[in-house]
Structure 1
Amino acid sequence: MEITFKNKVAIVTGGSSGIGKATALAFAKKGAKVVIVDWKENDETMNLIKDSGGEAIFIKCDVSKTADVKVMVEKTIAAFGRLDYAFNNAGIEGIAASTQDCTEENWDKTIGVNLKGIWLCMKYEIPEILKQGKGVIVNCSSVAGLVGFPGLPAYVASKHGVVGLTKTAALECAKLGIRVNAVCPGVIQTPMIDRLTGKTKEAVEQFTGLEPVGRFGQPEEIANAVVWMCSDEASFITGHAMAVDGGFVAQ
């Protein structure tokens, strides 16, 4: 079955780079009108979609701020009249430090973007998707939402929280026509992993060594999973945290 999102509208937060950018392009390729959301101005993804004949807008939004998220959804409806899908992907890695050395500022900021941000997005997305009678939300967690990683306590806690929040929202929305799932990417070649490794040979080898397939995943591989989870081919799946990695979690 060919997946098509013609006449549908999708929000992608963190859509200016990495997994978000790849997913926005994938939605557009399937015919969706795409709302690209990020915390700073960046029209690159929007222009790529428009240049290929698609429809897209960019909205500047800090997902940790209630007013910003509320306006994000309002602008989406004003531009396209509806909302069918959301990929709540915006996230930060925070500052690496042990649990005892993690600062309160780093904790609050990381939890605020990664966990509170996804809650806020769903808070305002769900009422609009309900108006369509059906729809799908995919939240971006991480393999760090399924296992622990030393030195990243706030990030790991936030991503575990996303999995629990996803399962709760899925139970609340299951009989209302909205499926809610999470995707848990492994080590993916994105600007975030570049910051974590510093692009040094030793660090890259350390991170790729976590994946039994011996390489970084590519953003497009996660995007394909998100698009499939939003499609009718995944119509019986809700409340699931899908690990999309090279086998690290399975070890």
Structure 2
Amino acid sequence: MKDQCVLITGATKGIGWALTQRLADQGCHVVGIARNTEDVDFPGYLHACDLSDAGRTEEVLREIREKYPVDAIVNNVGIVAPQPLGSIDLATLYRVLDLNVRAAVQVTQIFIESMKARRTGRIVNIVSRAIHGGQDRTAYSAAKSALVGCTNTWALELAEYGITVNAIAPGPIETELFRQNHPAGSDAEKASLGSIPMRRFGTPADVAAAAAFLLSDEAGYITGQVLGVDGGGSLGGRR
């Protein structure tokens, strides 16, 4: 992947940051988009943007398209906002769907024509184990399942151009976002850990390794797939 230009959303924290560092170490040119960019020693080109603002997102994406020949995209940014059925407010539902789905569509399609013209490209969407369902995860599960649908559709549309489109479905990963909803020592933490056969939480590096593979030349015949990185947490037969 040396000298490839990879665009990553949510690039300064958690999974996005781990992947940024890994790809930079491999010699990639990493273009990052993140809401928080202060005091970040970013090993590439970092653009500040709140992706929940569709208008500003369009402006930043056009700037990036003019500057960089984007070869690959990782749609990593997302939001959870847990609420149980019966207490789901529509504003939260729309916000979760918007940031997880609209942002990915908006980011991807602005670069897709140049990828098609070059007849090469990689797209990786970060979804979640929640595509199989999850407590208090109606909005998040729906949003990430929709992104799986996008993954499959894009894979079909883009295969003839040599562009692969895949998704990664992480289980519980030790990120700031995860810890907001699963504080150390909490019942939520215990329940989540108990759902993982490997009996440990994943790390951002675990997900970054999988994403780096799907972005590589070696994965050139893999498209339309969802790779679980979850310690077996999506398997049936758990106690």
Task: Classify the TM-score, shorter chain.
Answer: over 0.9
> Which whole-Å CA distance do the structure 2 matches of 1:181 and 1:91 have between them?
17
Q: Distance in 1 between matches of 2:185 and 2:92?
A: 24
- 2:121 pairs with 1:135: yes
> Structure 1's 221 and 206: CA in aligned 2 closer, same or farther, altered over 3 A?
same
**Structure 1 residue 33 displacement after superposition:** 0.6
Q: Which runs of 5+ in 2 are unaligned?
A: none
Match among 89, 102, 116 for residue 76 of structure 2: 89
Q: Shift of the alpha carbon at 1:191? A: 0.6
TM-score by length of 2: 0.93
User: Where does structure 1 lack aligned partners over 5 or more consecutive residues?
Assistant: 50-55
State the match for 1:112 in structure 2: 98
| Inter-CA distance 223–102: structure 2 relative to 1 (3 Å threshold) | same
User: Could you tell me which residue of structure 2 aligns to residue 100 of structure 1?
Assistant: 86
For 1:19, the equivalent position in structure 2 comes to 15
TM-score normalised by structure 1 residue count: 0.89
> Does the CA contact (< 8 Å) of 1:63 and 1:121 recur in 2?
no
1:139 aligned counterpart, secondary structure = strand
The reply on whether 1:35 has 2:35 as its aligned counterpart is no
Distance in 1 separating the partners of 2:56 and 2:111: 13
> Which residue number in structure 1 is paired with residue 193 of structure 2?
208
Matching residue's letter, 1:29:
D
Classify 1:57/1:182 alpha carbon distance in 2 versus 1 (closer, same or farther; 3 Å): same
Alignment of 1:166 onto 2:154: no
**Distance verdict in 2 for CA 1:141–1:44, change over 3 Å:** same
Rounded to whole Å, the distance in 1 between the matches of 2:54 and 2:140 is: 21
Say if 2:215 is the partner of 1:230.
yes
Quote how far apart the aligned CAs of 1:12 are. 0.6
Deviation at 1:180, TM superposition (A): 0.7
Q: How does 1:181-200 map to 2 (within 5 A)?
A: 181-200=166-185
For residues 28 and 148 of structure 1, the distance between their equivalents in structure 2, rounded to whole angstroms, comes to 34
CA distances 1:78-106 after superposition (whole Å, capped 9, x unpaired): 433x0101110000111x22122100110
Give the Cα separation in 1 of the matches to 2:178 and 2:41.
Answer: 20
Count of paired positions: 236
RMSD: 1.5
Could you tell me which amino acid in structure 2 is paired with residue 74 of structure 1? R
Percent identical: 30
Query: Deviation of residue 7 (structure 1)?
Result: 2.0
Q: Is the counterpart of residue 76 in structure 1 residue 52 in structure 2?
A: no
